[in-house]
């Protein structure tokens, strides 16, 4: 199966959890741009931000996205800020594979990310960051999957349908 599916969305939208579940259910490799960045940098995200600034992290993240996309079949999870960079938005918009935007309400994100420590941008004013990014998320995706109040198993099934629908038309 020559298959690819990309997940985008704000921190806490479920990208990592759902990519892992979907990969497991289909026996497909899972690539996560955050993981690729930390592996390549040999540093956790907080440290990359403090040593290289957000700009350094974004450069690494762009390369990680390009690298992840060379892998097929694969489920690809991206960092929540990937869409802040015009070059990444261009790449995502040019894809013909499903680019699924996972959405969640601010209350749900707050609940899911309670106690998070390795997310330097998940600070007090994250709701305004989210509002600022919303247009970029929708412009970069070709599918939207709301996740608030929905079970992981149900969401995996929905993603499964997207995968099947696309492979039928391949
Ligand atoms: C970020 C989201 C994080 C990570 C980094 C920056 C962002 O990924 O890439 O902390 O700018 O929203 P998750 O969305 O997986 O938390």
Domain 4-163 in this protein, CATH class: alpha beta
Dihedral angle over CA of 20, 140, 55, 133, nearest 10: -100
Ligand 1 nearest atom to the CA of residue 120, by list position: 10
Give the span between the Cα atoms of 99 and 101, in whole angstroms.
7
52 CB contacts (<8 Å, ≥6 apart)? 60
pLDDT given for residue 169 in this prediction? 57
How much is the pTM? 0.96
Ligand 1 nearest atom to the CA of residue 133, by list position: 12
pLDDT given for residue 168 in this prediction? 59
CA of 169 to the centre of ligand 1 (A): 33
CA of 145 to the centre of ligand 1 (A): 19
pLDDT given for residue 3 in this prediction? 87
Q: Is 9 annotated as a binding residue?
A: no
pLDDT given for residue 166 in this prediction? 76
Q: Where are the chain's structural domains?
A: 4-163
State the angle between helix axes of 45-69 and 86-93 in degrees (0 to 180), rounded to the nearest 10: 30
Low-confidence ranges of the chain (pLDDT < 70): 1-2, 167-170
CA of 12 to the centre of ligand 1 (A): 9
């Amino acid at each position: 199966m020559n298959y690819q599916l990309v997940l985008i969305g704000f921190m806490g939208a479920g990208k990592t959890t759902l990519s892992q579940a979907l990969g497991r259910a289909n026996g497909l490799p899972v690539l996560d741009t955050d993981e690729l960045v930390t592996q390549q940098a040999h540093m956790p995200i907080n440290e990359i931000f403090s040593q290289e600034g957000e700009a350094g992290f974004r450069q690494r993240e762009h390369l990680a996205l390009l690298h992840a996309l060379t892998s097929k079949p694969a489920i690809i999870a991206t960092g929540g800020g990937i869409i802040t960079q015009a070059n990444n938005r261009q790449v995502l918009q040019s894809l013909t594979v499903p680019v699924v935007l996972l959405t969640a309400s601010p209350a749900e994100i707050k609940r899911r990310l309670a106690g998070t420590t390795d997310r330097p941008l998940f600070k007090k004013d994250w709701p305004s960051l989210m509002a600022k990014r919303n247009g970029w998320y929708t412009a970069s995706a070709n599918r939207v999957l709301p996740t608030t109040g929905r079970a992981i198993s149900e969401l995996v099934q929905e993603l499964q349908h997207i995968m099947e629908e696309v492979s039928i038309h391949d």
